[in-house]
Amino acid sequence: MKTYNVAILGATGAVGQEMLKILNERKFPIKELHLLASKRSAGKKITVNEKEYIVEETTANSFDNIDIVLGAAENDIAKKYLPIAVEKGAIVVDNSSAYRLDKDVPLIIPEVNPQDIKKHHGIIANPNCATIIALVALQPLHAYAKAKRMVVSTYQAVSGAGVKGIMELQQQLAALAHGKEVEIQTFQHQIAYNLIPQIGSFDENGYSSEEMKMQNEGRKILNSPELAVNCTCVRVPILRSHSESIMVEFEQPIDVEKARELLANAKGVKLVDDPKSNQYPMPLDTTDQDLVYVGRIRKDISTQANALSFWCCGDQVRKGAATNAVQIAELLIEEL
């Protein structure tokens, strides 16, 4: 079996750590593995499956002889190093948003548009986490009835802001339980016992950058330039897994039974839709696994259009980021 030299760029962050775990879990055929991070983290030892890895400082030379780079760094680091990696012959699967909308960069969800991977020029982008979760759920319905409009409200966990987001919620809850002052560093406001209707920065049109990703990335991934999305992104005080309340208007008729049948047989989806028995997707149930759970499927009673509403949850650190990236790398080595 052919094996590959793999580097994780940003290996010490929440997504980088999860990529390392998932490469091992899925037995990705690795020859050499390099964990790249900032100078500050260099020398740190990380043990996975009883094997010890030493974190290396990222430099231009880090990409010599690397076949595949998994990018888990912020946009500025991605922009600095990924072109170097490509120049040195590596193929990059990047989780930052730096290249997602570039014409030459495929934006891939393996369950949705695996065929687009062939168009790459060295960089393949991993979509936004909330977008991945929505589109894994939407794709089977879209393939049948063509989605034209979505109204989405998200309920996004603090882990979307990385390890520091998780720590901030836990520290704030602990401070409040002991009658102490709450410290705010990661989010714009206190997140414990609160909701923050802001993820990212705001555009002139009043939507946040996170909200616009659902439309901009959704159009590209579904190859559906007319898809119209009105999204509201909200940070909620839960640790992990994003949830989304989604209304979709379709071009063609589709009823609830058909939607359930399509979703029951869809790749990457688990249908959990028996509300009368209190069964529906919840973030606690979807944490630390790779499926997008879909339920609460019902006809939108507010319109004569072909419209359905549903509720979906998925682990945004795994399927929304690390697992999706490793799945892309798996598609890639089928081609190599």
284 binds its own copies (CB under 8 A): yes
Q: What are the C-alpha distances in Å from 224 to residues 117, 143, 191?
A: 17, 11, 36
Q: State which residue, 131 or 243, has the beta carbon closest to its own copies.
A: 243
5 binds its own copies (CB under 8 A): no
Alpha helices (H) in 98-204, listed in sequence order: 129-145, 163-177
| Selection from 318, 271, 315 nearest residue 294 by Cα | 271
25 binds its own copies (CB under 8 A): no
What single-letter amino acid sits at 165?
G
Query: Contacting its own copies (CB under 8 A), which of 24, 30, 48, 153?
Result: 153
281 binds its own copies (CB under 8 A): yes
Q: Is 48 annotated as a binding residue?
A: no
297 binds its own copies (CB under 8 A): yes
Q: Is 295 annotated as a binding residue?
A: no
Q: How far apart are CA 153 and CA 313, in angstroms?
A: 12
Residue of 129, 231, 233, 312 with catalytic role: 129
Q: State which residue, 5 or 224, has the beta carbon closest to its own copies.
A: 224
177 binds its own copies (CB under 8 A): yes
- The residues with which 150 forms a beta bridge, in sequence order, are 229, 248
Q: Which stretch binds its own copies (CB under 8 A): 50-58, 79-87, 112-120, 239-247?
A: 239-247
Q: What are the C-alpha distances in Å from 14 to residues 17, 56, 320?
A: 5, 17, 12
With residue 294 as reference, give the H or E element that holds it.
strand 292-299
Q: State which residue, 64 or 274, has the beta carbon closest to its own copies.
A: 274
- Dihedral sign computed on CA atoms, order 111, 116, 120, 123: negative
Q: How far apart are CA 247 and CA 259, in angstroms?
A: 13
- Shortest reach from residue 210's CB to its own copies, in Å: 12
| Selection from 183, 313, 184 nearest residue 239 by Cα | 313
Q: At what angle do helices 323-335 and 14-25 cross, to 10 degrees?
A: 50
- Shortest reach from residue 269's CB to its own copies, in Å: 17
- The residues with which 293 forms a beta bridge, in sequence order, are 270, 313
Query: Contacting its own copies (CB under 8 A), which of 86, 173, 331, 333?
Result: 173
Q: Which stretch binds its own copies (CB under 8 A): 22-30, 75-83, 92-100, 194-202?
A: 194-202
Cβ neighbours, 10 Å, residue 333: 15
Q: How far apart are CA 68 and CA 122, in angstroms?
A: 10
> What would the two tokens of residue 74 be?
């912020």
Query: Contacting its own copies (CB under 8 A), which of 5, 224, 230, 289?
Result: 230
196 binds its own copies (CB under 8 A): yes
289 binds its own copies (CB under 8 A): no
313 among known catalytic residues: no
Nearest-Å Rg of the Cα atoms of the chain is 20
331 binds its own copies (CB under 8 A): no
143 binds its own copies (CB under 8 A): no
Query: Contacting its own copies (CB under 8 A), which of 215, 306, 316, 327?
Result: 215
- Shortest reach from residue 240's CB to its own copies, in Å: 8
> What would the two tokens of residue 75 be?
């946009």
Residues found near its own copies in the complex (CB under 8 A): 149-151, 153, 155, 173-174, 177, 188-190, 193-198, 202, 205-208, 215, 228-230, 232, 234, 236-239, 243, 245, 247, 256, 275-276, 278, 280-284, 295-303, 307, 309, 311, 313
Binding site residue list for substrate: 156, 235
Residues classed as catalytic: 129, 242
